[in-house]
Amino acid sequence: MYVRCESAGFLPPVVAGIVLVGLLIWGFKNPLIWRMLAVLGMGAGVGVLVWGIMLAALHEAPAIGSPAGIIATGAGVLVTAVALLVVSFCGGRTTRKE
């Protein structure tokens, strides 16, 4: 007998959100984590942006949202990733090279 759970659809986004917040907190101690997240975010942002532009150019309707919304989401992710990259290079050094 198999039990089917319909409410488990929210679990992966919740787990992904918890992992993302954990990595952002870890980035305060180790800026390399922020730089890696920024690179992944830039790739995702550009991918979503290009996807939205292609949908708009081909006059296709996405399964959710609109092409303009997808373009805006891609641009927002891209800008956030660039800001995170800049912030990762700000601040003083904890070690000193001599």
pLDDT in tens, the chain (98 residues): 555 656 667 778 888 889 989 988 998 899 999 999 999 999 999 999 999 999 999 999 998 899 999 999 999 999 999 999 999 998 766 665 55
Whether 70 contacts 45, CB under 8 Å: no
Task: Output the pTM of the full model.
Answer: 0.76
Within 10 A of 7 (CB to CB), how many other CB atoms are there? 6
Q: Contact at 8 Å (CB) between 73 and 23?
A: no
pLDDT for 24:
87
| Model pLDDT, residue 8 | 62
Q: What local confidence, expressed as pLDDT, does residue 2 receive? A: 59
